[in-house]
Amino acid sequence: MTPLIEAEGLAVNFRAPGGFLGLGHHRLAILEDVSVSVRPGKTLGLVGESGSGKTTLARALLGLVSRARGEIRFEGRPVDSFRRLRRKTAMMFQDPIASLSPRLAIGSAITEPFLIHGVAMTSRRAAAEELLALVGLPKEFASRYPHELSGGQARRAGVARALALRPALVIADEPTAGLDVSIQGEILNLMTRLKAELSLSYIIVTHNLAMIRHVSDRIAIMYLGRIVEEGPTAEVFAGARHPYTASLIASEPIPDPRRRRQSLAITGEVPSILRRPSGCEFHTRCPHAQARCRSEAPSLTKSTGGRSVRCHFPLNERFPPKLSDFGDKETRQL
């Protein structure tokens, strides 16, 4: 099946002040060689620590930041201008209250996409009420202002605005961040129901592994602006192949205090993107790093089960590793 959206070899650079005597600028490589795809009706989870480039990738996919390299295809066709794509996609931003204009009543905010894209409505009031009903908010909310909404209500308004033009793809940046657990569940149930009703695809950006495990079909794990592992969610959780994924999963809090997990939590600071480590960029924190890792950068390689991993010595591979994969004296149990 043709993916709904696909990116191949995406790179995004930002400029930061600096350089010679502080007069020039540094070129910061924020995303490097990122390839992702989402099939119609499916959910891709995008996971990684703060600063790993999740929001930048989400924005680059919609053309909200420009790319230095790479191709984006939507419904199988290369995207040169983002106009067509923007009507069929929508972004739910990380902070819903801040992303709604404080002076715009909710009814106006959620119907703004009609005006931005020049799409006719029978009446703005009717369109607003229909969208509010879709996300389970009373129609009186049309005349409320963002500061009058609770976190959960603001999220619902964010969903309503995203769905105004009935997109095929919604990119949700941290859709449950800052919400109580019960409200998080309500928002996820709402998103799941709407996905089925409206045949949506989602890209969900999050730190929350427990949540993404339940709602995504596939996950991509990012580290310093690169995807280090990608695959079907259940299988990645059942047996992570990249040591970073394994550490992330192991460092998730476990609700039952009687169960203690072997401590594999990631140690050490995330390196600065100004000083990317040589070779494999995870080697400064990787419990399995070997000599080769410090000098040679691994590429994202397809492995069994529709999975990809960026590591010289992947964990949990089904086929036996070659002896030559190991350093001189260092070996490790697989």
| Beta carbon nearer to Mg ion, 55 or 216 | 55
Is 98 among the residues that bind ligand ATP (CB under 6 A)?
no
Cβ-proximal residues to 32 (8 Å cutoff; 6+ apart), any chain? 11, 225, 226
Residue 223 is encoded by which pair of tokens?
């580290």
In the set 3, 113, 152, 298, which binds ligand SF4 (CB under 6 A)?
A: 298
**CA–CA separation, 230 vs 242, rounded Å?**
10
Cβ-proximal residues to 245 (8 Å cutoff; 6+ apart), any chain? 221, 228, 229, 236
**CA–CA separation, 303 vs 243, rounded Å?**
15
| Beta carbon nearer to ligand ATP, 111 or 184 | 184
Is 273 among the residues that bind ligand ATP (CB under 6 A)?
yes
Is 52 among the residues that bind Mg ion (CB under 5 A)?
no
- DSSP reduced 3-state for 163: helix
| Interface stretch with ligand SF4, choices 14-22, 90-98, 120-128, 311-319 (CB under 6 A) | 311-319
Q: How many residues bind Mg ion (CB under 5 A)?
A: 1
Q: How far is the CB of 51 from Mg ion (least distance, A)?
A: 8
| Beta carbon nearer to Mg ion, 222 or 266 | 222
| Beta carbon nearer to ligand SF4, 208 or 247 | 247
Is 56 among the residues that bind Mg ion (CB under 5 A)?
no
| Beta carbon nearer to ligand ATP, 28 or 183 | 28
In the set 52, 55, 206, 233, which binds Mg ion (CB under 5 A)?
A: 55
| Beta carbon nearer to ligand SF4, 283 or 307 | 283
Which 15-74 residues touch ligand ATP, going by CB under 6 A?
A: 16, 28, 30, 48, 50-56
DSSP bridge pairs for 291: none
**CA–CA separation, 270 vs 255, rounded Å?**
26
Is 293 among the residues that bind ligand SF4 (CB under 6 A)?
yes
Is 248 among the residues that bind ligand ATP (CB under 6 A)?
no
Is 208 among the residues that bind Mg ion (CB under 5 A)?
no
Is 204 among the residues that bind ligand ATP (CB under 6 A)?
no
DSSP codes of every residue in 183-239: HHHHHHHHHHHHHHHHT-EEEEEES-HHHHHHH-SEEEEEETTEEEEEEEHHHHHHS
Query: How many other CB atoms are there within 10 angstroms of residue 214's CB atom?
Result: 12
**43 neighbors 202 (Cβ within 8 angstroms):** yes
Which of the listed partners (Mg ion, ligand ATP, ligand SF4, none) does 131 bind, with a CB threshold of 5 to 8 Å by partner kind? none
Closest CA to 111 of 96, 126, 93: 126
Q: Which long-range contacts (CB under 8 A, 24 or more apart) does 331-334 make?
A: 332/288
In the set 286, 307, 308, 317, which binds ligand SF4 (CB under 6 A)?
A: 286
Please compute, for residue 247, the number of CA atoms within 13 A of its CA located in the half-sphere on the CB side. 18
| Interface stretch with ligand SF4, choices 71-79, 233-241, 281-289, 319-327 (CB under 6 A) | 281-289
Q: Is the dihedral of CA 289, 292, 296, 299 positive or negative?
A: negative
In the complex, the residues that contact ligand ATP under the rule CB under 6 A are 14, 16, 28, 30, 48, 50-56, 273
Would you tell me which residues interact with Mg ion (CB under 5 A)? 55
Residues lying near ligand SF4 in the complex (CB under 6 A) are found at 242-243, 280, 282-283, 286, 288-289, 293, 298, 311-313
